[in-house]
Chain A
Amino acid sequence: MNESDRIEMMRALADEMSIEEREAFERVLADDPVLRAEWASLQGVEGLLHKSRAESFRPFFAVRVARRIEGADEESLADALVWLFRPLAPVVLVLAVFLALSNWNERELVGEEASFLEAVFVAVPATVEAAYVMDM
């Protein structure tokens, strides 16, 4: 059996043949036992596929969809906030750099021996001695 015969069988299976084509197909089937066996087998596969067709998802599918849509709405709110604040990001970055440089220039506030990070964040060392000095 060649590819062309198989394609004809697919058309017959789908009931997409004209009356004349269908009659011709049935005549060929009647004369060819190999084709007839193939046709019966094909109908068997079709039957199994139909019986195995899923009719639903797990129970409460519609509820899960609704919950997911609510979640999607929350996501879109987050997206909206990102969209709103994104243009401010460069300004905030410039301000942060300016403050860091300013703190670095005035590092005597935390002591000349302070590390770079301590100076930039004006982080006074948390030691007992420092606490004592602050208390005085």
Chain B
Amino acid sequence: MSERGATDTALIDRAREGDETAFRVLVERYESQVAATVVGMLGPGDEADDVGQETFVRFYRALAKFRGDAALGTYLTRIAMNLSLNAIKRRQKQRWRFWSRDDEEKAPPESSVDGRDEQAAEGRSEAVHAALARLKPDFRAVVVLRMLDGYSTKETAALLKIAEGTVLSRLSRAMKQLETILKNEVDLL
């Protein structure tokens, strides 16, 4: 069977035995899912790339212990989310230390108006990420898992170790805040 068609379990077994190609296929297979989580939490940039890499390094180190109780995607999402929340805490500490404004406080950029689809999409994406960055980390985590990663309310609750009612409540308030920002400040709605 080719590497691309191999199951996660088969690739994990091979990666445990030191097969670097098998591990690379796993990285490529789950890059999109981890990127959605990390970029959703931190916005695009070097920090997100760094946290994304660290997610897979942690997984690599834990290969011997990984028993497959959870789907690999869920396992990686949990690592990515924890590392992203840690990165946000680090940012907050730095902001406190240097008393400087960081990305979370930046106003969302204006949406593109030059009519070119690609640039407009990029501007829209930047505006949405900037709006996400203005949510509290706990609220942002719920939006990212629920709306970007596509986890159900129950799965999101399990990943964040909170009640399902809390997920719905935070999601409802976060979506309202996003709606207000996107409608009033960047005119995207």
Interfacial chain B residues near A56, Cβ < 8 Å: 31-32, 35
Residue A129 CB within 8 A of the other chain: no
User: Given B57, B146, B176, which contacts A69 in the complex, CB threshold below 8 Å?
Assistant: B57
Chain A nearest CB: distance from B164 CB in Å?
Answer: 10
Chain A nearest CB: distance from B113 CB in Å?
Answer: 16
- Nearest chain A residue, comparing its CB with the CB of B46: A58
Whether the Cβ atoms of A10 and B143 lie closer than 8 Å is: no
Using a Cβ–Cβ cut-off of 8 Å, how many residues does chain A contribute to the interface with B? Answer: 32
Whether the Cβ atoms of A49 and B31 lie closer than 8 Å is: no
Interface of A is mostly: helix
Residue A36 CB within 8 A of the other chain: no
Whether the Cβ atoms of A45 and B178 lie closer than 8 Å is: yes
Chain A nearest CB: distance from B106 CB in Å?
Answer: 16
Interfacial chain B residues near A127, Cβ < 8 Å: none
Whether the Cβ atoms of B189 and A53 lie closer than 8 Å is: no
Q: Which of B38-96 contact A (CB under 8 A)?
A: 38-40, 44, 48-49, 52-54, 56-57, 60-61
User: Given A3, A44, A64, which contacts B172 in the complex, CB threshold below 8 Å?
Assistant: A3
User: Given A10, A41, A52, A55, which contacts B171 in the complex, CB threshold below 8 Å?
Assistant: A10
Q: Take A14-B146, A54-B40, A55-B32 as given contacts and tell me if A42 and B60 are in contact as well, using a CB distance cutoff of 8 Å.
A: no
CA A12 to CA B20, docked complex, whole Å: 44
Whether the Cβ atoms of A57 and B24 lie closer than 8 Å is: no
User: Given B57, B121, B143, B175, which contacts A65 in the complex, CB threshold below 8 Å?
Assistant: B57
CA A42 to CA B153, docked complex, whole Å: 17
- Nearest chain A residue, comparing its CB with the CB of B176: A6
Q: Take A49-B128, A54-B40 as given contacts and tell me if A16 and B172 are in contact as well, using a CB distance cutoff of 8 Å.
A: no
Whether the Cβ atoms of B57 and A52 lie closer than 8 Å is: no
Residue B112 CB within 8 A of the other chain: no
Q: Which of A40-74 contact B (CB under 8 A)?
A: 41-42, 44-46, 48-58, 61-62, 64-66, 68-69, 72
Chain A nearest CB: distance from B31 CB in Å?
Answer: 6
Q: Which of B120-166 contact A (CB under 8 A)?
A: 121, 124-125, 128-129, 143, 146-148, 152-153, 165
B residues at A contact (CB < 8 Å): 20, 23-24, 27-28, 31-32, 35-36, 38-40, 44, 48-49, 52-54, 56-57, 60-61, 121, 124-125, 128-129, 143, 146-148, 152-153, 165, 168-169, 171-173, 175-176, 178-179, 182-183, 188-189
